[in-house]
Amino acid sequence: MEKNKAPVIIGCDHAAYPLKEIVKAYLIKQGIEVADAGTDKEDSVDYPDFAIKVAEALSKGNVERGILLCGTGIGMSMAANRFPGVRAALCNDLFSAGMSRRHNNANVLVMGGRVIGDVLALEIVKTWLETPFDGGRHQSRLEKFDQMGEK
């Protein structure tokens, strides 16, 4: 399968800072350009501040792919999905990672640094980057997202 080498913006909070560094190093090794939105240490921060940085970049069309990491991945998912055009998928397993691309065309991968180990996280990233969107009936389903709130 052809690798997706599109640039990626990555952000995390303190709970997932070590995982962010591991994922970032992996992406760079794959030849993928990485924009690091922070945080850059393990001091306590508020995860929405970093979700906003990543989701805004996606929403404005500055970048096509993002990765967000926090303790569980839950807070980052909630925050990122408030932004138009952002489809953030919490994937702490390989099946969800593949399906989030095939059926949901997820443009932000979210993982929980306190939930999964580093090796699984990198497998998830690899799967997520390499799996294409199936399109077809899934595209028309996603288009319904844009109609929400218009009624």
Q: Which residues bind ligand RB5 (CB under 6 A)?
A: 13, 15, 47, 70-72, 74-75
Distances (CA, A) of 143 to 34, 49, 81, 87, 101: 29, 28, 15, 12, 15
Give all strands of the β-sheet with 65-70 in edge-to-edge order.
Answer: 34-36, 8-12, 65-70, 108-112, 88-90
For the CB of residue 61, give the shortest distance to ligand RB5 in the complex, in Å.
Answer: 26
Nearer to ligand RB5, 32 or 124 (CB): 124
For the CB of residue 88, give the shortest distance to ligand RB5 in the complex, in Å.
Answer: 12
Nearer to ligand RB5, 50 or 128 (CB): 50
Distances (CA, A) of 132 to 2, 19, 74, 114, 125: 9, 25, 24, 28, 13
Of the candidates 12, 14, 70, 91, the residue annotated as catalytic is 70
How far apart CA 128 and CA 146 sit, in angstroms, is 23
Q: Tell me if residue 14 is catalytic.
A: no
For the CB of residue 75, give the shortest distance to ligand RB5 in the complex, in Å.
Answer: 3
Nearer to ligand RB5, 15 or 67 (CB): 15
Residues serving a catalytic function are: 70, 103
